[in-house]
Amino acid sequence: MARISPAYLLLFICFFFFFPSSSYAYFNVSSSDKDLLEFPLNLEYLEAEFFLWGSFGYGLDRIAPYLTNGGPPPIGVTKANLDPFVKDIMVQFAFQEIGHLRAIKEAVPGFPRPLLDLSKGSFAKVMDEAVGHTLTPPFDPYANGLNFLLASYVIPYVGLTGYVGASPKLTHSQSRRLVAGLLSVEAAQDAIIRALLYERANVKVQPYGITVAEFTNRISELRNRLGHSGIKDEGIIVPPLSGAEGKTGGNIVVGNDKSIAYERTPKEILRIVYGNGDEHKPGGFYPKGGDGRIAKSYLQESGSST
């Protein structure tokens, strides 16, 4: 029997323990699992670019170009005027999103980065829709740390509700394991954003005279309207009877009446991120729509194309 060299054995052990993501690599899953694992790439690309550009003034094309698969660069995104504390947090988020992209793409083939509109105008439109009138001057997510946090409030929560919705539909244990891991970090990001905003809940966002808490309430209400599936979103302060166990108005971590996370379907998510309540009509952050079989199937139903 051939003898295995101790050096080769040590190398194998190190590889096994220090590169666990390789266990995800193109595992054999059903087509439905593949679709559900690929769909979140739409949101992960958006988060990665927003956090990277806001922190550094450049994105995936410079830091991890291999992850874009030749997809077009985002529109209008720029470096934000962040204080050191907020920047430090956003840098951490940015690199976490790169990890998420790698994890998904090691599990399924994925698709190139879709065209993303992360311009000031795109966020200004969301905020105008949320508050019910045109803000003057237009909301600028890159103007300061507070604005960037409010813009960040718009993003990770939508993705995490998608992971909650996808989890029970997955058939493969490795698929569920991957989604559970992604969900945990996305939920933590959302809780951190909400906690930072909660600390400033009564601060008025200048020059609009609208409090931080009211902004979050209005954004959550907008997402509920666009999703067309009832209440699955709440701001950082709610009436006490709507808080955890009907005992508190503080709402740093959002959940239903049993404090269980809300879930959304891909259809609901597309309605929200397209900004028009219609999964068949590209728009909002995705001028040409999302990618992957699920998103494309809705575009094809309406005759649109990516």
For 250, how many CA atoms within 13 A lie in the half-sphere containing its CB?
A: 9
Q: Is the pLDDT of residue 3 over 70?
A: no
205-247 residue pLDDT tens: 999 999 999 999 999 999 999 999 999 999 999 999 899 999 9
Q: Is the pLDDT of residue 25 over 70?
A: no
265-302 residue pLDDT tens: 999 999 999 999 999 999 999 999 999 999 999 998 86
Q: Note whether residue 252 is domain-resident.
A: yes
* 3-state secondary structure at position 211: strand
The structure tokens listed for 52 are 């990277």
Average pLDDT (247-267) is 95
pLDDT band for position 40 (50/70/90)?
very high
So what's the pLDDT on residue 115?
A: 98
User: Measured between alpha carbons, how far is 171 from 169 in angstroms, rounded to an integer?
Assistant: 6
169-199 residue pLDDT tens: 999 999 999 999 999 999 999 999 999 999 9
Q: Note whether residue 24 is domain-resident.
A: no
Number of domains in the chain: 1
pLDDT band for position 142 (50/70/90)?
very high
Around Cβ 28, how many Cβ atoms within 10 Å?
A: 8
Around Cβ 138, how many Cβ atoms within 10 Å?
A: 13
Q: Which domain holds residue 51?
A: 29-302
Q: Note whether residue 129 is domain-resident.
A: yes
Q: Are 120 and 207 in contact (CB under 8 A)?
A: no
Q: Note whether residue 77 is domain-resident.
A: yes
Q: Note whether residue 7 is domain-resident.
A: no
